[in-house]
Chain A
């Protein structure tokens, strides 16, 4: 039995290249006006043709819009584009990256159940998983994903999913996605990858076996520091019916007259559920204007990521030579312990967010941040502007010392998000700040 039957005629449209899809996916001319750019559908609700049409929509028997909490045409364009760029089946946008994480787990984890997550995560994710999720009776076990027997052990204890960042925030850690996907598949669990720092231009986790991808669209996807947004992307490959471990997707849904999502929608089940149940009841929907701004950002994603990476590598190389710098954690450096993994998973560049250790500890770290003129001191990443922060006193402040150390956010650590400015200006600004530290 051949797995791939050649196309009898023509090609499939998914053969379009990445740069073409970042401009065109989900974005044909408007069928009514011919408007070439995506209209901003600033509306709360949508008129029904008649009562039967309304019933079909509420029953999920047809495609269409009811109310913008569940779906909006501008947001849907962005969902299509992100799904296309990741090579996924479908996507669900959310009000923020954190909202996307709740949406990702919502169909999967029942009260009292567990999932596992890497201990090298954005501090806000650690707090969400360890402090707020237990209020839903969802429980997260943090694990060092470089210790494969520890990962196997936590999966054997019933973790239904493993959550990792492809390129970890804050610093220079690349996750071995293919190996971890082998472990989750063997355990009947999902691999969920936060691909925010890498973006699909640098890394496509579905090609390595991930089941779901989450994004903070606030970062490189929009790219200008204008938007709060997120997305969950489904590969469409996990067989919910065969698994039996995910009753939210495979068992009758009482609010839809006993409809079984996986049986009715096949590979579309997760994304249909995320809109029809997840957004319906959690309500963390993306605003159409934010979808529009993110659509504009994705049009230049590859161009921007190339320059982000080139600038980041130049700054990282310069920092390694600086006498006040203890260490630089950037996966693109030849000295990085993650270099091999970076060559495998991030062949187009190791991203633009990394950390370095400044001599003099906490106080010196704080001074470097405060002495910068061009770098903005703020809690964000993935902006056209270069950004700097001292994680121990800000983004990772709510963690314990132990959690901070595990996450690469110790007292001497400074995090940079390298922007698109003239690279010599970035170096000069850091040089001045380090001199004053």
Chain B
């Protein structure tokens, strides 16, 4: 697919296999918002997704059954991945917070959503030992690598003559 950044399938698949819990910064309680779509899909695939949304947290709201948190600092450890569902400008501050909390929370990956790119944030995160993915959606990548995206007529770029094995929750740790 046409994209400015290139990441290998091995890298993306490795992240999606390893990660169990995702902190989604900018997750919306409105079911018509893209972040809500992605959160619901990732939950269906067995990930725990913890929404970070100050307004929802202040109202004591839950999103798709998970209590909203006001900031990354309030997310219960361990969380392997921070998914940035905010604009590119906001990504730097979120990434710096993720770097600060990296050891305490167990963050390994900073993932910026489709349309979100901040090269300064990426450089700082990588220097701190975090893996960075930008301008990608984990829902789309999951569907692309494990077949479901093809159901919509999309080129997955994946070719294999092996009997396909869906990724299972218990495989992700290894």
* Residues in A lying within 8 Å of B, measured CB to CB: 1, 3-14, 16, 20-21, 24-26, 28-29, 31, 34, 36, 56, 59-65, 71, 73, 75-77, 79-80, 83-84, 88-93, 206, 235-237, 257-259, 263-264, 266-268, 271-272, 275
Contacts and interface: CB of A to CB of B under 8 A. Distances in A.
The residue among B119, B137, B164, B166 with the most chain A CB atoms within 10 A of its own CB is B164
Contacts of B3: 267
Interface stretch (B51-59, B101-109, B146-154): B146-154
B158 A13 contact: yes
Interface string B128-160: 000000000100100100011111111111111
Given A28-B164, A83-B155, A268-B140, 14 more contacts: A1-B119, A9-B8, A10-B11, A12-B7, A28-B158, A28-B159, A31-B166, A64-B148, A80-B153, A83-B154, A84-B155, A267-B2, A268-B154, A271-B153
Given A24-B159, A266-B114, A76 B6 contact: no
A63 B144 CA distance: 11
A263 B34 contact: yes
B8 A8 contact: yes
A16 B156 CA distance: 12
Interface stretch (B19-27, B37-45, B89-97): B37-45
A71 B1 contact: no
B4 interface: yes
A91 B155 CA distance: 8
A143 B146 CA distance: 45
Secondary structure class of chain B's binding surface, majority of residues:
loop
Contact of A237 (B2, B150, B155): B2
Contact of B152 (A16, A90, A257): A90
A34 B163 CA distance: 6
A12 B8 contact: yes
A88 B157 CA distance: 10
B9 A12 contact: yes
A206 B1 CA distance: 12
15 contacts: A5-B5, A7-B8, A59-B37, A61-B37, A63-B149, A64-B148, A64-B151, A76-B152, A80-B156, A90-B152, A90-B155, A91-B155, A266-B115, A267-B114, A275-B152
B153 A92 contact: yes
Given A9-B8, A63-B143, A237-B2, A93 B153 contact: yes
B168 interface: no
Contacts, number: 149
The residue among A61, A236, A258 with the most chain B CB atoms within 10 A of its own CB is A61
A79 B159 contact: no
A237 B11 CA distance: 24
Interface residues of B, number: 43
Interface of B: 1-11, 31-32, 34, 37, 40-41, 44, 114-115, 119, 137, 140, 143, 147-164, 166
A160 B82 CA distance: 40
A56 B38 CA distance: 11
A235 B2 contact: yes
A3 B135 CA distance: 12
Contacts of A14: 1, 155, 157
Contacts of A31: 147, 163-164, 166
A64 to B, nearest CB: 6
A28 B161 contact: yes
Contacts of B115: 266
A21 B137 CA distance: 25
Contact of A71 (B8, B10, B11, B151): B151
A63 B152 contact: yes
A247 B128 CA distance: 42
Contact of B150 (A4, A56, A77): A77
A62 B143 CA distance: 9
Contacts of A268: 140, 152, 154
A334 B40 CA distance: 60
Nearest to B122: A5
A254 to B, nearest CB: 12
Contact of A62 (B34, B41, B160): B41
B8 A21 contact: no
B2 A236 contact: yes
A12 B152 contact: no
B10 A61 contact: no
Contacts of B147: 28, 31
Contacts of B7: 5, 7-8, 12
Contacts of A65: 151
A88 B140 CA distance: 16
A92 B154 CA distance: 9
A211 to B, nearest CB: 11
A29 B159 CA distance: 10
B8 A275 contact: no
A9 to B, nearest CB: 5
B41 A272 contact: no
10 tightest CB-CB pairs across the interface, nearest first? A79-B153, A10-B10, A83-B155, A63-B148, A14-B157, A90-B154, A10-B8, A7-B8, A13-B157, A266-B114
